[in-house]
Amino acid sequence: MHQANHVRIHVVFGTKDRTRSIADAVQPQLWRYIAGIGLNLGIEMNAIGGMEDHLHLLFLLPQALSVATGGAKDQGRVPHPERSEGWGSVMRAPPS
């Protein structure tokens, strides 16, 4: 029997040298841009947010993509942050 696995990935991107280069005024536009990238890649974005010096992504990784591929695709297309600070999976507790 095949069991579907759902892997949620949390990625944190920091700006170069943690400079405050993501102004509050452009954050909503940047979050929409990143959501569009996820949509184009078939990645369900659960949450996008952050501050002037970093951003967070929480997304559901499609079964067709590996963890490494999903992270690399997101990292390669985000315009402002210049490096990934870390990422990991997020697990949901099974229903009781």
Task: Please give the biggest Cα pair distance in the chain.
Answer: 50
pLDDT tens, residue by residue, 43-70? 889 999 999 999 999 998 877 776 655 5
Residue 12 within any structural domain of the chain: yes
Please give the full DSSP string across 37-83, using - where no structure is assigned.
HHHHHT-EEEEEEEETTEEEEEEEEPTTS-HHHHHHHHHTT-SS--E
| Full-model pTM | 0.63
CB 61 within 8 A of CB 70: yes
Q: What is the pLDDT of residues 30-41, one digit of tens each?
A: 999 999 998 888
Can you give the pLDDT at residue 78? Answer: 45
Amino acid found at 86: G
Domain count, the chain: 1
Residue 2 lies in a domain: no
Give the CATH number of the domain where residue 63 resides. 3.30.70.1290
Q: Which two tokens stand for residue 84?
A: 């990934």
